[in-house]
Structure formats: C-alpha cells, structure tokens
Amino acid sequence: MKNLNISKYFIIIFVLSIFSIPVFSISANAGVYPDRPISIAACYPPGGGVDRNLRMVERVASKYLDQSLLPQYVTGGSGTVAMQYITAADPDGYDLAICDNGGAIIAPIAQGLDLGAADFTPIAQVSFVPWIMTAGSESGFNSMDDFISAAKDGDRMPIEISDIATSDHYGWLLLLKEAGISPNNFKWNPHGGGGPKMRAILSGEGNLFFDDAGEIAGYVEAGDLVPLAVAAESRLSQFPDVPTMKELGYNVVAGSSVAIYAPPGLSADKVSVLQNAMNGIKEDPALLKAFELTLQDPNTFVVDGFAQAYENDWSNAGELLKAALAN
C-alpha cells in the first residue's frame, strides 16, 4: 500500500509538471513584441523593385525579429492605396507597409490626398537608387554645365520624364530650385513610364532625362547615352568618372528610395524593436549578397536618421510639386 501511495504521488507530480511548463512559458512570453508574424503590405504588384527589396528583407527578418514578415500586396493608386491602408491600421506593430518615395510621398501630394508626414511612422529606408542626368549621344550635351547654360536661355527646353509628379520629375525640380532656374523654362514631356521615356531618348525624339545606373549602363557602354552627373552623395562604382551634382556645386540628392512604414501612433518601444531588427538585417551577409547581385548600394539601407530625412522629403516635395502642378 505504501508503494502504491508513492506511485500516486509521482504520477501527480508528473502530471502537474506537464501542465506547468506551458503555463510558465506563456507567462514568460506575455507582452513580448512581436509574439506573432508581422504583415507587411507592398504598394505595387510582385516583380518590381519594391517587391525585390521586400523579399530581400523578408528572407532574413526572422533572425532579428524572432518572427516572420508576411508579405501581402495592397496595390493601386500609384502606391497610395497601401499608404492609406497603413495609416488607418491599428498601431499595434503587426501591420507595416513598404513603398517607394513615389507612392509614399509624391503620389499622395499629386493626388491631393489628405496625407502628410505625421500620418506614418517611418521605420527604415531599405534602399536608395540615385538618378543620373543622362543625355542622348547625339544631343550635344556633354556635361552638366552644357545643360545649365542651355536651361538659363529660357527657350522651353524639352525634358523627358516618366510622368508629371513622379520621382524623376521631382528630382528635376530639386535641381532647378538649387540652380535658381524656373521650371517654366522647360517643356515637360511625360511618357507614362520609364520604358517609353528611354525610347524617346534613344530615338532622338528627346535629349535629356533622369534614370538609374542599372537602366542606362548597357546603353552607355554601347555609346548611345552619355551620363552627365549623379544625384548622390558620392560617385557610383558603375560610373566612377561621372561627377556628383554636389561636386559641381548643386546640393542635390534625388532618386528612387524604398522604405518601411508603420501606422501613426506606434509606441516608442515597438519602434525601437523594429529599428533594432533593421540594424541587424542591414548587416546580414545574405542581405549584403542580395544587394551586390541587384547592383544596389548597401550603405543606402538607413535606420538612424531616416525619420528626419523623410520629414524633409515631405516638406520639399509638397512645396515643389504643388507649385509645378499649379502651372
């Protein structure tokens, strides 16, 4: 009988131990963020630059967040549908958005939407691809000085752009403001996309445009295009002989950036968790290799200081685009 009682005692202890383990485990993890996967809404369909950068981050995110990122696609409105979605989401840290500056800043302004910098919580810039002022080889433009001299003549020089109020159009407006030249000195030719814009230059229909290194490299090598200046902090490895606009006396950094945003009102501690994870992600060997393969600069993955840059972009874009659209 004594042995039976001892056996019962150990059975009770064993059963209690089984049930106590998950209780203690749940208790220990209660309130830890994140404790489930985080949804991240891409503002454009799969296959483009935003999706590429999302996938690069998503593949390594769980190593630094202890949870996975779940991509979804909330598209339309030139990127603004995703941005409207995220500004209305609960600020619990489980909904993020990823978009380029065209969809996150420029399109909302151009469309007159009731959105501003305060309607989002900027988390990190994942990448930045600078614009290169580029001319057709038969255009007669061989330097940025050639452009500035011609621009000051006020003869309605044609400029090829993807569309009105797009990121390349905005880049031109930043340069003209810095150079003290009125946008009204130009005839802006919108083409409805980067491909038609490129074809206009290659056919000789147009002379000047902004595009990125990946798009123009083959044509430069073939002698069809001439890069004149880079709107970046430093020269590009693909074109080491092409000066930056800053070197030429124009404080202009402009291009296409991809960034991650949270809803407004996200608590500071959750912002810190996400940004700490991003600081780890940007140094991850797999991510660095992906940057190399996609010809992107890993130094443009920015966490600290991005929030201020984002606010500055809203302010500058609002001023310049509203004035351009009014004309």
Superfamily of domain 132-230: Periplasmic binding protein-like II (3.40.190.10)
Burial class (CB in 10 A: 0-12, 13-18, 19+), 17: exposed
Predicted structure pTM score: 0.81
Q: Considering the domain 38-128+256-326, what is its CATH architecture?
A: 3-Layer(aba) Sandwich (3.40)
| pLDDT reading at 10 higher than 80 | no
- Mean pLDDT (whole number) for 67-80: 94
Residues of the chain with CATH 3.40.190.10: 132-230
List Cα–Cα distances, 122 to 195, 216, 234, 264, 269, in angstroms.
30, 31, 24, 9, 14
pLDDT of residue 161: 92
Q: Using the predicted structure, report yes or no on whether residue 29 has a pLDDT greater than 90.
A: no
For tokens 């309605």, name the residue.
156
- Give me the residues paired with residue 127 across strands: 258
Which pLDDT band, with edges at 50, 70 and 90, does 100 fall under? very high
pLDDT at 136 over 60: yes
What does the pLDDT average to over 138-166? Answer: 89
Q: What is the mean pLDDT of the chain?
A: 89
- Kindly give the pairing relationship between strand 255-262 and strand 132-136: unpaired
All CATH 3.40.190.150 domain ranges in the chain, comma separated: 38-128+256-326
Going across the sheet that includes 121-130, the strands are: 69-73, 38-42, 95-100, 255-262, 121-130
Tokens coding 215: 């798009």
Give which of 260, 267, 257, 263 is closest to 120, Cα–Cα.
263
